[in-house]
Structure 1
């Protein structure tokens, strides 16, 4: 792992000012004081605002005519939050009882809007595709590539509004209205439509901020204003489902941050859609009764444990890779891969080997693939070179999913590896870690940690500041965690003790460090409140013996 140290502290420097400078962020701009959401909305594209007006007109017409409105979401955190937001606006806030929601089942219906999901949701509302009664279908977090499916709906006289942020294909579906923007998540588009329809519920802002973090959108511009406001709501008056989910997870945190959104709440919301179906997650977000919400949270927490176990099993299955002859893109397929977990395994492979990874589950003559990439490799553009081989394909520059006939997988592997050799520069596949500033360990204190709060919220595009300190003395190393997979360090330098945790490091060289060693460490800072006292802990990202 290369450490890209971007600046070095000298005595008297303002650490915060140094971080902002190397990130190219002016100290007198809106970054430190993001505008309120109402002001941030004004900076969004005119085309998006116009599309919202058109969508509102169509929705209001259906409400006036007392016709059914069906919100079709997706089974990940973004799709679940987007569905909850718009359903809340129409059914609860506007009191329109002819509103329905549908989340596809990954195993029965596949990804996004499909012919199978269309038939299933018509059945759910007591209709058939051929019914004389014509409905309005609003897709959230899906639909932009569903050309054939939306053509089918239109041929049968139904109306369609697409709200989506995924990349457009060469041909657009024949929808009535497109509410599309790829710089925000599906739940944020749902929130904008909900607000245009008159929604005032602040909890919906909280859900959109949750989806923004879990779907890895850069926390800049509108997204920064949204997440900052969402965290304020989550820390003062959180939705009952989110509150119960944190409690059941055993995370009685004093402050909800982007860490809790991305690593505690998000995985549990995603787990039901990965293992079973996402109905429990959606019901949790819609539930207002505390006891019912707690029961749903317990169920999701249990499912998440299953998800964790299956991820470990599948990763062990996928890990038999010849590390001496690594291709520039990893492709692994197996009949024992669980379709709901392949994305997590692809992410782990990509992180470990620092190159794009494709993991494919096999069933009934087809492969379902999930892909994760590395910075600099636009994976959806890469895969579109083989568009004719896929039954379906969608995604972002950093992640994608597809369906392919089983017999075409060897050909895909061969062609992808060849194209990777020709098109992916070697330097993009060298693991590296950006370090904002190299500092003496004795600079680390509670005052520095408190000042770092002015840079929040942290996330993609505004990463948590990373520090590096040299020649720090180790006084203790121990293994912790359910499977003893984490390393707990105690350091002593310049008359001060520091505690650090290195997650999932039991198989790394760090496990060989011992009392008396000196080490160079790369880390972030976390506040730890215990028994009325506040401590500064180091979250170690990498460590080397000096």
Structure 2
């Protein structure tokens, strides 16, 4: 599929030149900083040298005083406390962090993860009933609860207090809990708004430790869990998240908790874990527990007190991940065949596929894969509890949630945001929904939105990639939303020697430009270009720059994202 290459343009060249001089760096690198909102020497220092001293005071968050006081009272009065969290990576790491910290201090503690299929997302009536049955009087909810108005009221009727730690956007009404920690509240002046759910759990234990003279090391030991949540929940890696991610990766690569160490060993990658490695290796394994079976298995792994317990729990979770992959691959193949065998579906500007036997736990993953393949708004549906339930994914620039609003008369429930959503409908509404969704998308999507975009920092010459340039470039990490791994464009490059096909249609080659040095390249999925690049004709490339390690030898490698021939 052809992709558009879009190069960033920087208007403020005066700031770029000034920053280049002050930092003694290439203007290309200075332009990248300005594109990230970094315009002064001090801002650059904070960016390149993250410091734990720059973490914000947790008591700046609305409700933190009340939250800490209520936990202190619970401990003093020997109350039973329940740590409650969502079933995804952010929720399970949140629970593991908060439970582990308080369990070291206090024995009357337990945790609860709702069943994805029985209870659904967020705080459930069943969870509150569980708490009441076990004599629990305080629930600390993490990564959920900001819209649970009725559930908090239900808990109060049973004599149970709530502390809510959520990072999702609140509704018009805030639950009447003892404390509601959410930086996105309109009345919250906390300086950073983009914490993950586990990041909020970290701020809670940071505040509690500060108030109770607990050494900082007792809090920082959980930064490996925080970085796993930041990476997996795809929150911006800016500001406070950048600091937490930076030090979290250090902890993950040097002294991870038993559970994460087991997952690292199962991944087969020995060291130098990055945000990308977490997203593709650790996150899916943790998520698999809740997708296929019970997310409590993930918490059990992450709080494991010994290597043996962690290895046992990790073995089970790895099996669940293998099951998840099998479901994922089979359903994706079936869905692709549905589209390929239907000329009408291939011509549409949206994709809606349904099969009553598909596993609900993986349809979101399948929707993402179909979106990558056909690059158009996509919904994958299956049968669930007498209804049809689905996951939806969108393309850059297209508001999926607004499209679903236009079809709301045919839906029982739907929710989500611009690029991802969930929905349910009555089975008899499916044909009308498919028709109306395609009608809405066709009327509101542009041709540009239907072509995948590669966003590039700048067009550069290969000779610009010097050892100093690459050394500084590496310091832009950790990469993630709002600080993505930089993509560059270089034009009129030539293949040096002959390229070859490796693996599943991957192109391996070396390139040079004019009098530049030769760079080794890997272009995943670009084997179809082999014949053209071997003709000796010039071509353009867009790519990221990475370090390749082979038998302890390190070299710069270009990871090709796109090729354009003349």
TM-score scaled by length of structure 2: 0.84
| 1:432–1:80 distance in 2 versus 1, CA, 3 Å | same
| 1:448–1:227 distance in 2 versus 1, CA, 3 Å | same
Specify the SS of the correspondent of 1:473.
strand
Preserved CA contact (<8 Å) 1:166 1:396: no
Which among 399, 413, 420 is matched to residue 399 of structure 1? 420
Which among 318, 322, 326 is matched to residue 301 of structure 1? 318
Task: Give, in whole Å, the separation in 2 of the partners of 1:215 and 1:171.
Answer: 25
Task: Give, in whole Å, the separation in 2 of the partners of 1:268 and 1:401.
Answer: 22
Task: Give, in whole Å, the separation in 2 of the partners of 1:446 and 1:305.
Answer: 41
Specify the SS of the correspondent of 1:135.
strand
| 1:358–1:98 distance in 2 versus 1, CA, 3 Å | same
Q: Determine if the alignment matches structure 1 residue 139 to structure 2 residue 158.
A: no
Specify the SS of the correspondent of 2:486.
coil
| 1:107–1:534 distance in 2 versus 1, CA, 3 Å | same
Q: Aligned residue for 1:113? A: 123
Q: 1:361-440 counterparts in 2 under 5 A?
A: 361-380=382-401, 382-384=403-405, 392-440=413-461
- Backbone CA RMSD of aligned residues: 3.1
Structure 1 segments unaligned to the other structure (5+ residues):
none
| 1:290–1:22 distance in 2 versus 1, CA, 3 Å | same
Shift of 1:80: 0.9
Preserved CA contact (<8 Å) 1:166 1:395: no
Shift of 1:78: 0.5
Task: Give, in whole Å, the separation in 2 of the partners of 1:368 and 1:311.
Answer: 17
Specify the SS of the correspondent of 2:482.
coil
Q: Aligned residue for 2:259? A: 241
Q: 1:42-441 counterparts in 2 under 5 A?
A: 42=57, 46=60, 49-92=61-104, 94=105, 96-119=106-129, 121-122=130-131, 128=133, 133=135, 135-182=137-184, 183-198=194-209, 200-253=218-271, 255-319=272-336, 320-321=338-339, 322=344, 325-327=347-349, 329-380=350-401, 382-384=403-405, 392-441=413-462
Give the stretch that moved more between structures: 174-183 or 447-456. 174-183
Preserved CA contact (<8 Å) 2:59 2:207: no
Number of aligned residues: 526
Structure 2 segments unaligned to the other structure (5+ residues):
11-24, 185-193
Shift of 1:101: 0.7
Task: Give, in whole Å, the separation in 2 of the partners of 1:87 and 1:381.
Answer: 38
Structure with more contact order per residue of length (Cα contacts < 8 Å, sep ≥ 6): 1
Q: Determine if the alignment matches structure 1 residue 521 to structure 2 residue 532.
A: no
Shift of 1:179: 1.3
Shift of 1:466: 0.5
| 1:311–1:289 distance in 2 versus 1, CA, 3 Å | same
Preserved CA contact (<8 Å) 1:85 1:204: yes
C-alpha offsets along residues 288-341 of structure 1, whole Å, 9 cap, x if unaligned? 3123323333433343333223222211222233565323x4333221321111
Preserved CA contact (<8 Å) 2:491 2:541: yes
Task: Give, in whole Å, the separation in 2 of the partners of 1:70 and 1:39.
Answer: 31
Shift of 1:240: 2.8
Shift of 1:343: 1.2
Shift of 1:32: 4.5
Task: Give, in whole Å, the separation in 2 of the partners of 1:245 and 1:204.
Answer: 16
Preserved CA contact (<8 Å) 1:446 1:535: no
Preserved CA contact (<8 Å) 1:70 1:137: yes
Shift of 1:418: 4.0
Task: Give, in whole Å, the separation in 2 of the partners of 1:495 and 1:357.
Answer: 44
Task: Give, in whole Å, the separation in 1 of the partners of 2:443 and 2:490.
Answer: 39
